[in-house]
Amino acid sequence: MMNLPHQTNDSQMIQDDQTEAISQMKIGFIGAGNMAFGIAQGILTSGKVSPTNIIVSAPSMNNLPRFQERGVAITQVNEEVVERSAVVFLAIKPHLIQGVLYGISRCVTQQHIIVSMAAGVTIATLEELLPAKTRVIRMMPNLPCVLMEGALILTSGSCAGEKEETLLKNLLSPCGLVEAGPEHWIDAHTGLSGSGVAFVYVFAEALAEGAVKMGMPGALAQRIAAQTILVGSHAHLQYVPEYLN
Ligand SMILES: NC(=O)C1=CN([C@@H]2O[C@H](COP(=O)(O)OP(=O)(O)OC[C@H]3O[C@@H](n4cnc5c(N)ncnc54)[C@H](O)[C@@H]3O)[C@@H](O)[C@H]2O)C=CC1
Ligand SMILES: O=C(O)[C@@H]1CCC=N1
């Protein structure tokens, strides 16, 4: 496995040891929307984690059935997610983070790993809202995680580090490309890929519209545009420069 600038051979050894631990790990999601589903789906499809080891919460039943159908435990009580999980993903909208953390903080211990995917909510803010010495990871995923073709960047707070980053990279590897780095990568990645994936759809539609204006049937034009972008991406990934220090 390629050692990235921030990764050492120890990480590889940690990662190997963690695979067994991950299969036993209790994982929780606070928030049951698009992103929680995308990540849970990626993890479940890989078989790394049993659905019986996952629990998801949301205030209403709207989004919960699609988790329940996959054997995942559901609840409308966030504290229950924290009490039953070792790794807790915060999958609620950014403006809700403060209220949700206020509600769960009394249940958070130093054994938990709290993983926020809330756009724009910094490690400093998260650590301010959580009990001292909480192990915090901030990450930026994207929706293609649901197809196991995502791109995720994660960074660790002051009480987390290489061990937690390697654990999360191992756990999230079925969701797609996962890298750890400094926190300023997260904001770059939010534009590049968190939101960037939506611009690909706009580009594909524009390509297809050009062909339609020249008389090609719309459905065919859309398929060829998608195939063109797919091939272009495969070629680019093959020749993209190695990670730079
Ligand atoms: N959708 C995307 O493409 C991406 C989203 N994100 C981040 O992921 C987070 C979730 O985004 P989405 O999944 O798109 O939102 P969403 O609106 O699809 O899902 C949010 C979920 O939170 C639940 N919720 C609302 N209030 C709650 C509360 N008090 N306690 C527990 N659950 C509550 C809702 O019922 C819903 O199930 C956001 O912070 C967003 O910035 C990050 C990268 C990409
Ligand atoms: O819905 C959101 O907040 C995220 C951030 C990047 C793309 N979507």
Mean pLDDT per 10-residue interval, the chain, length 245 residues:
46 65 93 96 90 97 96 98 98 98 98 97 98 98 91 97 95 95 95 91 96 98 95 82 54
Q: Where are the domains of the chain?
A: 4-181, 189-244
- Report yes or no: 191 and 202 within 8 Å, Cβ to Cβ: no
Q: What's the CA gap between 196 and 190, in Å, rounded?
A: 8
- Of all protein residues, the one whose alpha carbon is nearest to atom 3 of ligand 2 is 119
| Superfamily (CATH H level) for 4-181 | NAD(P)-binding Rossmann-like Domain (3.40.50.720)
Residue 198 host element (H or E): helix 196-213
Q: Whose CA is nearest to atom 44 of ligand 1?
A: 142
The residue whose CA has the least distance to atom 2 of ligand 2 is 119
Residues in binding site: 30-35, 78, 91-94
Which ligand 2 atom sits closest to the C-alpha of 94?
3
| 143 CB within 6 A, ligand 1 | yes
Q: Is 93 in the pocket of ligand 1 (CB under 6 A)?
A: yes
Cα(35) to ligand 1 centroid in Å equals: 6
- Whether the ipTM is more than 0.95: the answer is yes
To which CATH superfamily is domain 189-244 assigned?
ProC C-terminal domain-like (1.10.3730.10)
Supply the pTM of this predicted model.
0.90
Q: Name the residue of 121, 189, 195 whose CB sits within 8 Å of the most ligand 2 atoms, as the mutation to test its pocket.
A: 195
- What is the CA(170)–ligand 2 centre distance, in A? 23
Dihedral angle over CA of 60, 173, 243, 238, nearest 10: -110
What is the number of alpha carbons within 13 Å of residue 205 lying toward its C-beta? 5
Query: Quick check: CB of 50 below 6 Å from ligand 1?
Result: no
